[in-house]
Amino acid sequence: MGKMDRDIERVLISEEELQRRVAELGAEITRDYADKENVVLVGILRGCYVFLADLTRHIDLHCRIDFIAASSYGKGTSSSGQIEIKKDLTDPINGAHVILVEDILDSGNTLAYLAQILQARNPASIRIATLLDKPSRREKSVKADYSGFTVPNAFVVGYGLDYAEEYRNLPYIGVLKPEVYEKGE
């Protein structure tokens, strides 16, 4: 057992389950966009990076990748509701079929805000792919077009998801022990 594993209450989604579902999502996107050109995967940093890297290897299409960084968490465990763009897209998306790739759809505040901002840039379409969906915390009416797993209202880390910028490198999704984040609040 590694040092970080001791902070995990339980494994929620194993490495094997993650890999299987990400491959299925890649196949779905490949089918849905088979007749489209100018597909752009927009990763929402930082949490998406592991999911996006694995997902792109399962998408058999010509596509571009870009990133946007937005934050509504800071060092806390719940969304503040105040969205801050920390890094904007590098290239224009007008006329593109955009797939926003997110690690977790929680309150929906960040995705609602980003979808609105990006829609103003005249893409051909915008869809959302999220690894995790936590509908019990939804504040905005946002629905993922591609969703890996529905998770309970617990603080999850691993596979790109963090607490205070740590635990992203765990190969699975785990529930963080409350005593770990309660001491930091």
Vertex 46: Cα angle to 13 and 6 (nearest 5) = 45
Closest CA to 9 of 183, 185, 184, 180: 180
106 is catalytic: yes
Burial degree of 83 (CB within 10 A; 0-12, 13-18, 19+) = middle
Give the integer Cα–Cα distance in Å for 59 and 70. Answer: 25
With tokens 């009416």, the residue in question is 141
Give the integer Cα–Cα distance in Å for 106 and 58. Answer: 25
Active-site entry in 7, 103, 106, 133: 106
With tokens 């196949």, the residue in question is 27
Which residues neighbour 183 within 8 Å (Cβ) at sequence distance 6 or greater? Answer: none
- Report the catalytic residues: 106
